[in-house]
C-alpha cells in the first residue's frame, strides 16, 4: 500500500520564483493528508496531479501566513468543485474565528461541513486514529504555539506461518485467536508460543513533520525511530544565533535531531529566501547525518 510524501512548498516566510511556502501531502493508503497550507498550495496540488477531492484532513502547524494563507482559497475551490463530504482541520484554536470570518466573506455559502479540531500546543497526544493510520501531535518551540505531527501506520496483525497451520492443524478459530496474540495449546497439551506461529511481513511505516522550531533535544523523543523525518532548516550554521532568535533551526541542528531520533532518512526544508542555492545547507546537514535530502517542490519520497 502507498505511503509517500510529496513536497508542495519548501520556502520559509517569502516565496521565491522556484519555491512555494510550506505544504506537504502524505498519501497513506490512497488517503491524502495535507500538512500546512501556504499560499498557492492548491496550484501545487494541481501541478503535481494530486486529487483535491481525496483530501479529507488538513493539519496546520501554527498560525503564521506562510503556513496558512492558502487555506481559504483551497476551501473555496473545493466548494466550487461541488464537495459535499466533511473536511477536518487540525489547528490551533486562534485560527478558527479568522477562518470562519474569511469563509463567510469569500465563500458565502459553504456546501460541505468543516470539523475544526483544536490542537494542544503543550502536550504530546494522539489526535486521529483510524484502521490504517495513527496521527500524533507534539509541541515545538517557535515564537507562537506550534505543533509537529507524526503519522504512523496502525500496527498490522501478524501473519500465520503456513507450516504451523499444517503441523498443528489450526482451525479458523485458532488462527483468529493467534493473530490477536494468543499462544496455541496442541492436542497433547504442549503450549506453542505465539512468536513461533506468526511473523510480521512489514513493520508500520512512519513520517514526522517538524515545522518551525528552535533546536531542542527533547524533540527527538517524539520522533524516535521514524522512517522519514522532515525538519526545518531555515538557516546555515553561521546564523545559529539568528535561528534561535527567530524560533528556527540550522541545517546542522536538523541533522542532530535526525541522529538523536534514529531516523532512517531526513528531509530538510523551509529555506530562507536568502539561499538561491541550498546545496551548502544539504552538505552541512550530511556531515552530521548522511541520509539527508533536500525538500524541493514537486519531489516525492516513498516510504
Domain boundary residue, one of 148, 177, 199: 199
Mean pLDDT of 221-248: 97
Q: What pLDDT is recorded for position 161?
A: 80
Both 89 and 139 in one domain: the answer is: yes
Q: What pLDDT is recorded for position 98?
A: 96
User: With bands split at pLDDT 50, 70 and 90, how would you rate the model's confidence at 273?
Assistant: very high
- Please give the DSSP secondary-structure letter assigned to residue 11: B
- Helical H segments across 103-213, by residue range: 162-168, 172-179, 194-197
Both 68 and 123 in one domain: the answer is: yes
Give me the helix-helix angle, 71-80 and 95-102, nearest 10°.
Answer: 40
Q: Is the pLDDT of residue 158 over 80?
A: no
Q: Is the pLDDT of residue 186 over 90?
A: no
The model's pLDDT over 12-56, given as tens digits with 9 standing for 90+, comes to 988 998 999 999 999 999 999 999 999 999 999 999 999 999 999
Distance in angstroms (rounded) separating the CA atoms of residues 214 and 280: 20
User: With bands split at pLDDT 50, 70 and 90, how would you rate the model's confidence at 285?
Assistant: very high
The CATH number given to whatever domain includes residue 274 is 3.60.15.10
In terms of Cα–Cα distance, which of 285, 224, 217, 208 is closest to 254? 285
Sign of the alpha-carbon dihedral angle for 287, 288, 290, 291: negative
Distance in angstroms (rounded) separating the CA atoms of residues 129 and 152: 10
Both 127 and 233 in one domain: the answer is: yes
State the residue range of the domain holding 166. Answer: 159-199
Instruction: Give Cα 105 to chain centroid, integer Å.
Output: 31
Q: Of the listed 66, 174, 212, 236, which one is catalytic? A: 66
- As a whole number, the mean pLDDT across the chain is 94
Mean pLDDT of 274-295: 97
* 227 flagged as catalytic: no
N residues, the chain: 303
Distance in angstroms (rounded) separating the CA atoms of residues 211 and 232: 6
Cβ atoms of 94 and 67 within 8 Å: the answer is: no
Number of domains in the chain: 2
User: With bands split at pLDDT 50, 70 and 90, how would you rate the model's confidence at 5?
Assistant: very high
Both 21 and 167 in one domain: the answer is: no
Distance in angstroms (rounded) separating the CA atoms of residues 244 and 251: 13
Q: What pLDDT is recorded for position 242?
A: 97
SS3 93: coil
Residue with grid cell 500546512, as numbered in its chain? 36
Both 131 and 40 in one domain: the answer is: yes
Q: Is the pLDDT of residue 198 over 80?
A: no
Between 276 and 184, the higher pLDDT residue = 276
Cell of 110: 459553504
Distance in angstroms (rounded) separating the CA atoms of residues 151 and 284: 27
Count other C-beta atoms under 10 Å from residue 29's C-beta. Answer: 13
Both 123 and 231 in one domain: the answer is: yes
Both 242 and 181 in one domain: the answer is: no
Both 55 and 87 in one domain: the answer is: yes
Q: Is the pLDDT of residue 191 over 90?
A: no
The model's pLDDT over 121-137, given as tens digits with 9 standing for 90+, comes to 999 999 999 989 999 99
Both 17 and 46 in one domain: the answer is: yes
Distance in angstroms (rounded) separating the CA atoms of residues 75 and 274: 31
- Please give the DSSP secondary-structure letter assigned to residue 96: H
Q: What pLDDT is recorded for position 80?
A: 96
Q: What pLDDT is recorded for position 32?
A: 97
Count other C-beta atoms under 10 Å from residue 67's C-beta. Answer: 28
pTM of the model: 0.89
Both 109 and 142 in one domain: the answer is: yes
Cβ atoms of 153 and 132 within 8 Å: the answer is: yes
Residue with grid cell 513461533, as numbered in its chain? 196
Amino acid at each position: 500500500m502507498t505511503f509517500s510524501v510529496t513536497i508542495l512548498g519548501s520556502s520559509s516566510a517569502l516565496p521565491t520564483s522556484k519555491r512555494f511556502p510550506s505544504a506537504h501531502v502524505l498519501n497513506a493508503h490512497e488517503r491524502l493528508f495535507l500538512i500546512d497550507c501556504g499560499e498557492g498550495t492548491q496550484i501545487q496540488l494541481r501541478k503535481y496531479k494530486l486529487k483535491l477531492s481525496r483530501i479529507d484532513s488538513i493539519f496546520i502547524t501554527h498560525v503564521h501566513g506562510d503556513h496558512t494563507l492558502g487555506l481559504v482559497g483551497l476551501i473555496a475551490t473545493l466548494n466550487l468543485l461541488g464537495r459535499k463530504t466533511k473536511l477536518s482541520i487540525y489547528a490551533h484554536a486562534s485560527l478558527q474565528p479568522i477562518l470562519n470570518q474569511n469563509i463567510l466573506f469569500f465563500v458565502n455559502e459553504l456546501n460541505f461541513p468543516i470539523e475544526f479540531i483544536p490542537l494542544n500546543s503543550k502536550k504530546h497526544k494522539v489526535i486521529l486514529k483510524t484502521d490504517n493510520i495513527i496521527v500524533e501531535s507534539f509541541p515545538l518551540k517557535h515564537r507562537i504555539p506550534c505543533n509537529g505531527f507524526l503519522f504512523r501506520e496502525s500496527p498490522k496483525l501478524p501473519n500465520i506461518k503456513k507450516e504451523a497451520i499444517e503441523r498443528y492443524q489450526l482451525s479458523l478459530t485458532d488462527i483468529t485467536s493467534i493473530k490477536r496474540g494468543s499462544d496455541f495449546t496442541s492436542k497433547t497439551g504442549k503450549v506453542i508460543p505465539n512468536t513461533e506461529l506468526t511473523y510480521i511481513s512489514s513493520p508500520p511505516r512512519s513520517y514526522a513533520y517538524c515545522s518551525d522550531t528552535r533546536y531542542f533535544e527533547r524533540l527527538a523523543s517524539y520522533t524516535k525511530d521514524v522512517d522519514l523525518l522532515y525538519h526545518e532548516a531555515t538557516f546555515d550554521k553561521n546564523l545559529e544565533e539568528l535561528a534561535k532568535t527567530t524560533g528556527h533551526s540550522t541545517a546542522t541542528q536538523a541533522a542532530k535531531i535526525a541522529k538523536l531520533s534514529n531516523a532512517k532518512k531526513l528531509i530538510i526544508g523551509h529555506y530562507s529566501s536568502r539561499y538561491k542555492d541550498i546545496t551548502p545547507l544539504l552538505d552541512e546537514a550530511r556531515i552530521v547525518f548522511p541520509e539527508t535530502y533536500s525538500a524541493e517542490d514537486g519531489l516525492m519520497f516513498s516510504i
